[in-house]
Amino acid sequence: MILDGFRRLRKSGVLGMNFRNAGYIMAYNARSAYPLVDDKVQTKRLAEKFGIPIPELYYVVENHGSIAKLPGVLEPLGEFVVKPARGSGGSGIILIKGRTEDGFVTQSGKTMSKEDFNYHIASILSGIFSLEGGEDTAIIEALIHPDAVFKDVTYREGVPDVRIIVYKGVPVMAMVRLPTEASDGKANLHRGAIGAGIDLSSGITLAAVHKSRIVKTHPDTGNPVNGIQLPHWDKLLMTASEAMDMTGLGYLGADFVLDRERGPVLLELNARPGLAIQMANQSGLRIRLDETDSAPPAVFSSPASRVAWARDHFTGPDSSTLISSGG
Amino acid sequence: MRRPGFLPAAALFLLTCVLVLYRIIWLGYPVFPVSEGQSWQLLVNVYITPKEEQSGLSLALPSEQTGYMVVEERVLSGMYAFYIHTQGSNRFGVWSGAGVDRPEEITYRATIHSRPRRGVPIQSPLLSPFPTAMSREEQSLAQAAAMKWQASAPMVRFRAVVAALKGNWGDSPPGDDRSRRWRVVQQKYDRTDAALALFRASSLPARAAEGLRLAEEVQTLPTKWIEVWVDRSWVHLNPETWEVYPSSAALLPLAVGGFPAVRATGGELSDIRWTLNRQVLSQWKLFYEQITRSAHFLDRWSLLQLPQEFQGTFRILLLVPIGALIISILRNVVGFPTFGIFMPMLIALAFRSTGTVYGVAIFCGVLLVGYAARSFLDKLHLLLVPRLSVILTLVIACFTLLALVGNKLGLRELMAVGLIPFVILTMTIERFFILIEESGIWEAFRAAIGSVAVAVIAYGLISWETLQFAFFVYPELILTVAALQILLGRYTGYRLSELYRFRFLKGSS
């Protein structure tokens, strides 16, 4: 029975945790490249060098001493984002969109005193949100104004992001993560955000996964999550593809936000992208990874050729059949 | 992709085979390390403070006749002269000296090999006389009281006497007040003497015995019991509760027939301790002699050559790699969520002193208390290192409290709480809290339950004596464990948990 289950997973091309680790992450991601993506400051510097759009970096708080300099740095800024450089899963991020006499107003409309704000920065520096628990730095960067395309399927002020898995520079699978009330406005699937798969060739959303179940509509707004055309789709894929040239990582996840004015903006890169994207897309990664392995060498010559090949080959199935097959 | 791990794994496995076969074929090691009986290391420390010109000590020593074989004995006598005095089936170590004017420490050390069901005398022992303090009239009262069951079989008589000692005399014929008068007499004597008299009156051979509980612990008072000959074997009766000891193997007799296990003359016992430790299983103890004298390389480098006190550590340490292998299997093949990789293993090691029931209860209790405290601390906005320090302090405080409560209740398992790795527990509390915050209560509980389950499984494995022993005698077996770990490291198939995780995926359900 168990072996049958394994065989079915294998047949549908599901990528499991063990094979992801041994077959892709260990095989194609050099340890030396990890700091480039684990530290968002380094990722930003690198992206700037490659001309990839990122949220503008205002300031990096390196140590507790520089917290004192913050008032001067923040003075000209009306709105900004604070995030830990080594944070994961969206924890420790605060969006500030205004200020009062003695503090700041956060995205959700709450006020935050200067003391609490400084305490939060100090917490980031002491490594509370960092994966390894070591010392960290805090990033002050520009606030993103998300494109209105996902407005109907996003909980209040949450910022949806687009995750693209890139293998050998070829975008192989994509999803958009839509914040919900349960996820506290964060685009984090673990916390209850929903993930909608994206048809790679057209950039149109498919069915979505919410807490490992297939859903057609957003749990808070009730609007359908499938059939939404992502703007700047080709540019998103191109930028994701360039991330391989930028970092040398053969298997990575690139996270973007669609800015109202600037279009796709790179948020962060991930050297160990998760597997939930397979459920959002209702298809296994293994099939696409194997197909990429057997692509002719000419495909890998440039980002443009890699994206063109991917859009040709990874056409998602019709979304209506997907929904009926779930559960 | 399988190739690179396979070669080193095969090499390690072959190396194990070669070493084990060498030991079996050339050095003559037994193939299956099975054992019968157990070996115990007995250490007696006596501190005697002389009060008179002539002072001395009489200490009952374990003897061979009672189903226990004494393998080696060592005595440290200080300024006293020492000799062994045999009295019936008892052996007493006698230390005596004149003009000893300062406190002396006397130690006695022996290895005792217990062989249940052996060394039991076949012929029935003689009836012992009534306790000397008892008058003829009192003796006849006892006989009158026992008259009722005198004609029954030995086992029935024995049960009747035990019931009578508990105060349950059954119906006595009216007008017969002799058994009632015996009951008055019985109150005059101590419980053991009264019981011995009643057994004598019921024609059951019985004797008082003093000795030790066979358990890994320190005893400061000898245990007293009554041995009664019923149906060709000695039954052991507890004179405090009148309960029968379920197994005679749990007791080590030192002095039988009413002799005290320890007595000082012309001086005062300031302290006496009997310490019992279990040893490497017996068959190997005999084997050990051969190994120590052997000139073969592997014999000279055997773990059996280590001093006793370090051997126990290695019996456990050699199984830790298997525990790690189990954790790898549970995590990578089954997909058990656990806190950290080695945390369950360390908890399993702590279970050795606390036992699983108390161990799991303590772990869960401290985790929940820690979680409550951590939630409160969150409001205080403490920085990481000081915050962890506060939780660490709380963990230590919980341990202290548990140890004190354990002492009051007489629960050694609770007092052993200090052996639970407190640093690991502190980090677990922090991770538990973060996991609840980030991924919800369900995920956190899954990880907690997973960790405890893995710890219990690993504990069951490291407590398996045969396995401990196999690895102790053939330490090269850990190379095979390493080979399996390498092979497992190359396992790239699905995890069992992924069957559930991807259950809604198209085509896979």
Task: Write the pLDDT tens digit of every residue in B134-153.
Answer: 888 888 888 888 877 888 88
Q: Give me A326's structure tokens.
A: 């779930």
Once rounded to an integer, what is the mean pLDDT over residues A82-102?
85
**Distance to chain B for A284, nearest Cα, Å:** 8
Rounded CA-CA distance B161/B169 in Å is: 9
Beta-sheet pairing, A263-270 with A251-259: antiparallel
Q: Which of A1, A2, A18, A91 to mutate to test the interface with B (most CBs of B within 10 A)?
A: A18
Q: Decide if B379 touches A, using CB distance below 8 A.
A: no
DSSP A148: G
Domains, chain A: 2-50+146-325 (3.30.470.20), 57-141 (3.30.1490)
Rounded CA-CA distance B30/B473 in Å is: 10
For A44-53, A112-121, B431-440, which range has the lowest pLDDT when averaged over its residues? B431-440
Does residue A192 register a pLDDT over 90?
no
- Interchain contact, A190 vs B332, CB within 8 Å: no
Of these ranges, A44-58, B67-81, B253-267, the one predicted with the greatest mean pLDDT is A44-58
| Mean pLDDT for all residues in chain B | 81
Chain A residue with minimal CA distance to B386?
Answer: A126
Task: Give A57's contacts (C-beta < 8 A, 6+ positions apart).
Answer: A41, A44, A139, A140, A141, A142
**Distance to chain A for B397, nearest Cα, Å:** 25
Rounded CA-CA distance A49/A46 in Å is: 5
The pLDDT score that the predictor gives to residue A325 is: 37
Q: Give me A270's structure tokens.
A: 């991930």
Buried b (16+ CB within 10 A) or exposed e, B479-493: bbbbbbbbbbeebbe
Q: Which residues of B touch A12 (CB under 8 A)?
A: 505-508
Chain B residue with minimal CA distance to A319?
Answer: B506
- Interchain contact, B439 vs A191, CB within 8 Å: yes
Q: Decide if A7 touches B, using CB distance below 8 A.
A: no
Q: B39-120+262-278 and B136-256 share one CATH topology? A: no
pLDDT tens sequence across B226-278: 888 888 778 888 888 888 887 766 788 888 888 888 888 888 888 888 988 87
Look up the CATH number of domain B39-120+262-278: 2.60.40.2250
* Distance spanning both ends of chain B, measured CA to CA: 28
Once rounded to an integer, what is the mean pLDDT over residues A2-15?
88
Cα separations (Å) of B171 from A26, B146, B499?
A: 85, 13, 71
- Interchain contact, B492 vs A18, CB within 8 Å: yes
Q: How many residues does chain A have?
A: 327
Share of chain B above pLDDT 70, in %: 88
**Distance to chain B for A23, nearest Cα, Å:** 7
Which of B486, B436, B459 shows the shortest CA–CA distance to B344? Answer: B459
Entry pTM: 0.68
The pLDDT score that the predictor gives to residue A318 is: 44
> ipTM > 0.95?
no
Does residue A321 register a pLDDT over 70?
no
- Interchain contact, B501 vs A212, CB within 8 Å: yes
Name residue B253's beta-bridge partners. Answer: B211
Q: Which residues of A touch B386 (CB under 8 A)?
A: none
Rounded CA-CA distance A8/A250 in Å is: 27
pLDDT confidence bin for B292, thresholds 50/70/90: low
Sign of CA dihedral B343, B344, B345, B350: positive
Chain B residue with minimal CA distance to A6?
Answer: B494
Once rounded to an integer, what is the mean pLDDT over residues A273-285?
90
Domain layout of chain B by residue ranges: 39-120+262-278, 136-256, 310-473
Contact B40, B257 (CB under 8 A): no
Buried b (16+ CB within 10 A) or exposed e, A243-280: bbebbebbbbbbbbbbbeebbbbbbbbbbbbbbbbbbb
The pLDDT score that the predictor gives to residue B119 is: 46
**Distance to chain B for A35, nearest Cα, Å:** 22
Name residue A167's beta-bridge partners. Answer: A170, A251
Architecture of domain B136-256: Roll (3.10)
Angle between helices A233-247 and A40-49 (to 10 degrees): 110
Other CB atoms within a 10 A radius of the CB of residue B241 amount to 8
pLDDT tens sequence across B159-183: 888 888 887 777 655 556 777 777 7
Does residue A61 register a pLDDT over 90?
yes
Q: Which residues of A touch B499 (CB under 8 A)?
A: 2, 5-6, 9
Task: Return the ∠ at Cα A131 (arms to A175 and B379), rounded to 5°.
Answer: 105
| Nearest CB neighbour to B504, from listed A133, A212, A284 | A212
Once rounded to an integer, what is the mean pLDDT over residues B189-201?
85
Chain A residue with minimal CA distance to B441?
Answer: A191
Task: Return the ∠ at Cα B182 (arms to B179 and B183), rounded to 5°.
Answer: 95
Q: Decide if B332 touches A, using CB distance below 8 A.
A: yes
Buried b (16+ CB within 10 A) or exposed e, A97-126: bebeeebbbbbeeeebebeebebbbbbbbb
- Interchain contact, B494 vs A16, CB within 8 Å: yes
